[in-house]
Amino acid sequence: MATQEFSFDIVSKADMSEVKNAFNQAHKELENRYDFRGTTAKIEFDDKEISMTADDEFRMDQLRDIVFSKLIKRGVDARSLEYGKIEPGPGVSVKQKLGFKQGIPQDAAKSLVKQIKDKGLKVNAQIQGDAVRVSSKAKDDLQKTIQFVKGLELAFPVDFVNYR
């Protein structure tokens, strides 16, 4: 009888359905805010990123705060946000894009695999695309690895998927 190997993947991605929900809430708040009436302020979402347009940098800060607070309330990790540069917009306005990091960058994945190996757990960690697959013969070792990774100070949010 062959010994069974168990595994899971460590991934980093923003939940785009929650991003969409947060966008809808931010859009609703923008429409109802008295201090934004009669301004060019607007928020748009195209399934990949949020575009924000405002009269000036002060209003852009307020707009960013609205969007950010809604994203955090919906459980979107701040480490997955990527703000673009503030650029001149149409007329006398400014615009900024807000993107969402998807996947673990190669250098970060290498570092994560090294940290897992240095911990001395009886698991095998390897990079697969923009994720890290961890496998072991013992489910307990996988549980210990998940707890270890959760405790690390990482520059990106992690999620554990495909547990088998």
Determine the average pLDDT of the residues in 57-80.
Answer: 94
- Hey, what CATH class is 6-12+104-161 in? alpha beta
For 87, phi then psi, to 5°, come to -120, 160
What pLDDT does 3 receive?
Answer: 64
The structure's pTM equals 0.82
Question: Structural domain boundaries of the chain?
Answer: 6-12+104-161, 16-100
What dotted CATH number matches 16-100? 3.30.70.990
What pLDDT does 72 receive?
Answer: 95
Average predicted confidence (pLDDT) for the chain? 90
The yes-or-no answer to whether 6-12+104-161 and 16-100 have a common fold is: yes
**Is residue 77 over pLDDT 70?**
yes
